[in-house]
Structure 1
């Protein structure tokens, strides 16, 4: 049987469209550095470039079925998505007076009733419960890096330094955590 690493980019995209996570992992290994470089050149921030890189591969996961090889190579498609995403992010950052980050306490805290709309409050509570439940199903190693990255705001490098885990392992654990969360949250819809 052929290993995923031997498959062409087009075949990997077909496999990703069939929800084969190993295909996405191979695609990430092939083009993760390229996508990061494209984002970094535009944004000038390692942390934001890492976020864009994860977002690009998340979009590849979601939109693999819509990829058309007659419009360009997978590499070109991914680089284009990275470029567009980075430019969009740069525009948004420039239009805001301050950059907001999600804190772990925001996810754990009960929502403050800013509007008297009980339906919105209930929906928000349910969404937070779903997210907490999905995170609790992750392996401890993935929960740890996910918490540090998304709720403590640490970059991949900072997580690696703080936990004495190789940078590649941090990135892999985050990618796997995001993939599993996506699947868990999709199943609940």
Structure 2
């Protein structure tokens, strides 16, 4: 990603930054807000450049300043200024967020692919490739006809190998909502395909 450069700051700015950090260490919540206002623009610009997404960049900023509030002693003045420390934190957390997003996208894409490949059939003749292709096309069509939340929950749970709790964590959705989406999605697939798919929501 390249080196993290810090914006030019005067000695007065650096002293003010240190004072804000001292206030944070003393438990002054207002100091975190002041620090955020001082560094929001360069911090957001850096996170946005790494992530290419405004929402994710804002999430990274929130994580960074929560971390500062929880452990202001992590700053080491011998290794640089408050500005360079904060921007380094932003850079590291943004890179971590990129890795998480890529990992999630790969798992999701793999799960959808496996759903089509492992689609249940009503034939015991494994050599009947024409029938298997027809069933796979029907499953693909039925799956994509589902609302996106139901499709996501089913592919992750049944063919991604995740439990309902893991699906809830991966998608940021309440567990009860995930269970409802899976149950509703399975019923719709069963109605559409006319196969012996279970209608009880499956994985726990």
TM-score where L is the length of structure 2: 0.46
Computing the radius of gyration from Cα coordinates, the structure with the larger value is 2
TM-score where L is the length of structure 1: 0.50
